[in-house]
Structure 1
């Protein structure tokens, strides 16, 4: 046994590493761990051996013996500590799956802990994405315990490194599948992982997977969320090696703790789902522009609905959408709110789909949308507000601020209020803190809103200041809040405490002062005239300057510059001369003192400056004149000439003059600077006036276009109304003509019936001759009955017969008949008289001629009919009884005659 142990120990480490005896392997793992811990760097031979032959780790971490596997996992952790990033990247693709299947799913807690530490080290040494990509496929493993181990590892990863370092979206998307697993342990571990996500992301994670869960699962998760809802925001517990390096550099640079956190911080968590960009141009209708320009609102809405369907994709490929965006901007002025709502939805889809690519269209749609915020219907305001939020998300705060502030002073209270609310949403969602000038503009506009007549507008202005205060801090906002009363400050303080913002202002630290450098930049950095730089290395002894009375000694030096090219001298003077052009006034100095400039030569005007100067600011030109003759620079060019060196001979200023009080700018420079500042201020005012005028004109144009659209709609409605009235008139005329035709046909039918009745009546009375003993009253009754039969037809004859048997006087019967028939007494009497004459004209007497009684009877009948009764027409001479008997006799005879002719009808 002892011989075997000596043989095993004599074997190379790599051979013992793969030995069939688990004890030998275990000892090899322990020996390797000791060597890794004692290694000085990743270049150690043992470390390099296991780095180059990474397949050794695959079998070790998945060792079938649990005791040996535990030591192998410990050895792997020691190896990763010394091997660094190179060893991590070479081995992780072979070890992650065995670590999870054999290590995290092991029964020994020590093995589990070492396996988890190895996974965290793999993330720390490089980056977490490859490790997460290796772990996610294991969530589809057939063994539930492997899925539980993987979920536990993911939870520890996000707990240690946070969602800012480890991308959460891939894991969030796969959670619904895990929640649908049949094993309760898997679902429980998935719930723990979801709670960990909630600690970091809160409700922002829900859009990625929440709707795919069952309602009961959602309720259970909400209960778990309530337990951690009030916990402080979590912090990253472990740092990546790259983050550790940044932190160390920041500490060495003397930055405070807050700056260290900022330097090492990762970008904001992006929970937007990843989509492929879709080319929507082929799907957009070709006749979209014509349909949007239609005069019918239904056509316009249908066109926008088709556009909405075509572009409704999470991510849109950029294309030539300029005409479409302009058409949507025009739709913001549409009189129909349904068209406006759909157009706003389309703009929102474009902004969210194009993202930063939509920024070039912002100036087209933003002003029309904010102008349409005057609509009081909530659905329209919500649609436009969502579109504005999407436009802001696609741009940045500085681009949108100018237009927003312009609408905060709008004359329409609804537009002003909604614009203020939009500004509040922008401050809450922006990730870039406003600049100091922007803060002043926002604070001034919001302060004016605090004095508005409407309480809701005053509250909105206070919320703007409170949200801005949350972003910028006390130091920046205190000057803007000092002049407010305590009530308003209290209100602003409430909004400050409740505001939730994503941006935080951090003042930039001042850059370290730059070291003084020789060159032209030294003058601009604040150096006085006595500290002018030189192009190259200059001699130092020319510090002492002779007194001013030695100025004439400079006269013989004037011809020397002629040995240099005039262009070189001019170029040198340009290099020394400030950009504002101070040399020009130097040519016109008063006093008429001759100088070197009078000599024929290409000398610089600065060398020709007279010794007598009017101001202290003009001291710099003469002090800049170099003594080039001492260096012999005739053929050496500009690089050897100390152009900025003060000369000793011609300087008129005594050395004690302190240069510290000079600003480096001459009088002319200051005057020119003031003029430029005044011009800039004038241009700024003109620009503001033009912007206000443009806004005013845009508002008027919008109003006129709205009025024009309303007039067009009214005109269309009037035209339709006129057409409807014309249609009704045509129908009425047609009905009137049909009624006239009906009346004419009825009249003809009445005439025909009258003629037929007359013919029948004449046929019945033709052979009848009255008896010799009848009286005028009897004749009147006869004709009265006949007239009633003629006028009333068979019904009248039947009524007359029925009334004749009542025993009432004929006059009463006649009056009753007149009341029933609705005919006036006079007309009835006249018609009866005429009828009587026509009917009795054929009756002849016994002598063969017309009977006088007939004519008298006719007159008597007319008199009787025109009076109140038969008795009244006869003067009251006859007895009523006699008249009734005669009438009955005549009636009976008439009935007998009709029966003979076949005209009688059964009763």
Structure 2
């Protein structure tokens, strides 16, 4: 066996990896582990061999022998450590699934090494490919593989954190895992969910929480309570890219190393870890159409559905422009319920989009502040919360101009609520206002102190007090001058009670000054090193004494004031005193300085220099004297070598100072231009808002006028139709009236004169008192004559006259009958009487028949007359009724 083992070790490692004998494979894995550990770089031939032959690792991690597999996983870990990103990307597709199926379900030692291999795969490149491979294994047939996969995911998120590994895709598949029949799988899923909760808290719930059963939600809530108060965890392992990156600036600046700075960034990190949710699919498709409905209930329902869709802690960016315009328009809605829900939606957008909401600020902020005129406190509170969310997503500089404009609003309610909003902004801002902004705020607030309402005055005082707390006494004293003591006392009370997050820190007065000072000090630091090798004698004391104090006694002569003061300050000794300690020492005989420079030192110092010479000659002498004072002993060579730089430095400093003055003037001019442009921008922005409001009002007026015109047109059409119908009715009634008139005239002509007049006349002429038959006995003939007369009068006399010409003459003409109605009757009567008398007083049967026909005619005439009377009375009644109706 020993010989066989020796033979195994003599085989190449690649042959040992695929050997049939598990001991040969195990020995090859161990030898490879040692070889990878001693390799220097990823370009080592052995490393490159196994990178090229990446398929061999699939059999290594899935070795059928558990002992060999354990060593194979160790060899893979060593290989990944040295192979780097290239070895990771070439082997991970072949090895991840076998590692989970064989390694994570094996012995504890193999499980530990398999877990380390997965973490190394993530560390060397990125986590997304590994997470995808692991999520694919959640559909495995064996429950133990699924549980092992969930454990690997938990370890990965625990080590690298949810900021490095995106948790969205994992959270979305959790409900499927919770529905597994195996309890170990469900338990592993709960551990993974708790790990997510440590990092994300409640922001992870929108992705999967509603897909869980109520019982599962209750169980998870109990587990969440145990870790709810724990601080947000920190990333334990770093990717190779993170290891190569420089540490954060805050961590470097930490006083105790890097931990303090890292802790300062933890709140922002925790905020970034919240998962962004895409809310656009949940927004109603017909939102804009329903928001434009004429019924307020439809508008409110649309806003309620939008509120439900966007009620998340963090949302992804999307095309919200039309929605924001609709919400801004809802601020002008007549129904306060619609306004309240719209303000709540804007608040959710501001808190969900955060910094991404800044581009919508100009769309919604103006209409919201304009609607602050609403006196109902619930509406004002909803709009105020929305404004706070807008401010949190932007900055103080972005909102200040618009706030100051509304502080001048003519509506007291708008002015008061805008002042309260400004106070909240000052208390919550983390950056102190600029000096120009302080002046604008102070001026606007001072005007509020003169308002007639006490609440307005108190609000203005609170603004000044809060601003005082931020800026400090030195800056605010100038703005508080001129106020009476009562107002100052009130402002001081608000100053003491204010709690702010920002604190003004004044900047350095002139930042460029330290650079010239440091440049002037640099030669001083080099002096001792240059003086030590070649010590030299100093000139006589009477020559140097007058020259040493010149730089300090006459600083105005030189053009470089600050560098000279910096040179004299470190010495602490006077140059004349030092010069007296070494009198009469000659100048060095061997000097590296040029004759020109030596001429500077040899210039006479006992006489006063002219102004023309002071610009050139004096700087060399102070350097010489200062060199002796700084060194503490007479040294000539360094002073000679350093004599020329002062004139050059002095000239540069003067040029720098002149340039600095010009730059200051330029800065001041640009600042004034900036203020002018800002004021112009504010004015133009207010004009734009006014024009927008006017445009909206004109649109509303136009719409109202169009609707009114349409209503008038409808009324006009109806009136025309009614007029046509009335005209037709009048024409019909007129025709009916004409017809009745014609009929009436015809009936009147037919019935005039009354028929009973002739009968009465006949009766009166004959002297019969109501009984004709009493006189004549059997008076049939006489009755027939009377009947014929009445019939002739009724029907125009046609065919009713006697056979003689007399009867026809009397009854054919109406007028003649009317003039002498009894003439014909008398003749007829006499004729009848004569006939009757000639016949001996008896009437013949023919005479009796005639008498009978006359009676019937009489009756018919009476009936016709009665009918005509009734019709005439009826017509008169209708005419009277019509006259009353008109």
TM range (shorter): 0.5 to 0.7
The yes-or-no answer on 1:747 pairing with 2:747 is no
Deviations 1:167-212 (A, max 9, x none): 2233234445545656665455344323322321223334445566
Structure 1 residue 213: Cα displacement: 5.6
Aligned to 2:398: 400
Tell me the distance in 1 between the aligned counterparts of 2:689 and 2:459: 27
Deviations 1:608-646 (A, max 9, x none): xx96559xxx976776899xxxxxxxxxxxxxx999734
Tell me the distance in 2 between the aligned counterparts of 1:842 and 1:464: 122
SS at match of 2:702: helix
SS at match of 1:130: helix
Task: Show the 5 A alignment for 1:2-81.
Answer: 3-8=3-8, 11-33=11-33, 50=50, 53-81=53-81
Task: Show the 5 A alignment for 1:294-333.
Answer: none
Q: 1:364 to 1:490 in 2, by over 3 A?
A: closer
Q: 1:423 to 1:86 in 2, by over 3 A?
A: farther
Higher helix proportion (structure 1 or 2): 2
Aligned to 2:709: 719
Tell me the distance in 1 between the aligned counterparts of 2:433 and 2:184: 55
Structure 1 residue 162: Cα displacement: 0.7
Structure 1 residue 101: Cα displacement: 1.3
Aligned to 2:859: 898
Q: 1:457 to 1:740 in 2, by over 3 A?
A: farther
Tell me the distance in 2 between the aligned counterparts of 1:549 and 1:329: 83
Structure 1 residue 160: Cα displacement: 1.7
Tell me the distance in 2 between the aligned counterparts of 1:336 and 1:252: 56
Structure 1 residue 104: Cα displacement: 1.6
Q: 1:435 to 1:112 in 2, by over 3 A?
A: farther
The yes-or-no answer on 1:698 pairing with 2:726 is no
Tell me the distance in 2 between the aligned counterparts of 1:414 and 1:198: 43
Deviations 1:389-437 (A, max 9, x none): 79996xx647734445445635254587489769979999x9xx64774
The yes-or-no answer on 1:133 pairing with 2:94 is no
Q: 1:87 to 1:611 in 2, by over 3 A?
A: same
Deviations 1:44-88 (A, max 9, x none): 776666555444432121012233323322343344455555554
Aligned to 1:159: 158
Aligned to 1:189: 188
Q: 1:905 to 1:671 in 2, by over 3 A?
A: closer
Tell me the distance in 1 between the aligned counterparts of 2:127 and 2:155: 12
TM-score, length of structure 1 as denominator length: 0.52
Q: 1:242 to 1:315 in 2, by over 3 A?
A: closer
SS at match of 1:770: helix
Tell me the distance in 1 between the aligned counterparts of 2:406 and 2:113: 61
Structure 1 residue 695: Cα displacement: 4.2
Aligned to 2:259: 257
Q: 1:524 to 1:247 in 2, by over 3 A?
A: closer
Aligned to 2:516: 525
Q: Which stretch of structure 1 is more off in the superposition, 361-370 or 170-179?
A: 361-370
Aligned to 2:759: 769
Larger radius of gyration: 2
Tell me the distance in 2 between the aligned counterparts of 1:159 and 1:63: 29
- Preserved CA contact (<8 Å) 1:389 1:426: no
How many pairs were matched up?
A: 655
Q: 1:188 to 1:739 in 2, by over 3 A?
A: farther
Q: 1:725 to 1:457 in 2, by over 3 A?
A: farther
Tell me the distance in 2 between the aligned counterparts of 1:274 and 1:327: 20
- Preserved CA contact (<8 Å) 1:123 1:240: yes
Tell me the distance in 1 between the aligned counterparts of 2:25 and 2:426: 63
Task: Show the 5 A alignment for 1:61-460.
Answer: 61-81=61-81, 87-106=87-106, 108-179=107-178, 185-210=184-209, 221-222=220-221, 224-244=223-243, 255-259=257-261, 268-269=272-273, 271-272=275-276, 365=363, 373=371, 397=395, 400-406=398-404, 409=407, 411=409, 412=411, 413-414=413-414, 417=417, 434=431, 437=434
SS at match of 2:760: coil
- Preserved CA contact (<8 Å) 1:51 1:83: yes
Tell me the distance in 2 between the aligned counterparts of 1:646 and 1:714: 84
Tell me the distance in 1 between the aligned counterparts of 2:392 and 2:725: 65
Tell me the distance in 2 between the aligned counterparts of 1:182 and 1:6: 51
- Preserved CA contact (<8 Å) 1:465 1:492: no
Tell me the distance in 1 between the aligned counterparts of 2:724 and 2:505: 88
Aligned to 1:597: none
Tell me the distance in 1 between the aligned counterparts of 2:170 and 2:366: 42
Instruction: Give 5+ residue unaligned stretches, structure 2.
Output: 281-288, 480-488, 525-529, 548-558, 562-607, 622-640, 770-814, 828-853, 868-886
Structure 1 residue 155: Cα displacement: 1.5
Tell me the distance in 2 between the aligned counterparts of 1:68 and 1:346: 62
TM-score, length of structure 2 as denominator length: 0.53
Tell me the distance in 1 between the aligned counterparts of 2:762 and 2:733: 47
Instruction: Give 5+ residue unaligned stretches, structure 1.
Output: 277-290, 497-503, 515-520, 534-538, 551-575, 579-609, 627-640, 652-658, 780-837, 851-892
Structure 1 residue 159: Cα displacement: 1.4
Aligned to 2:780: none
Tell me the distance in 2 between the aligned counterparts of 1:529 and 1:219: 73
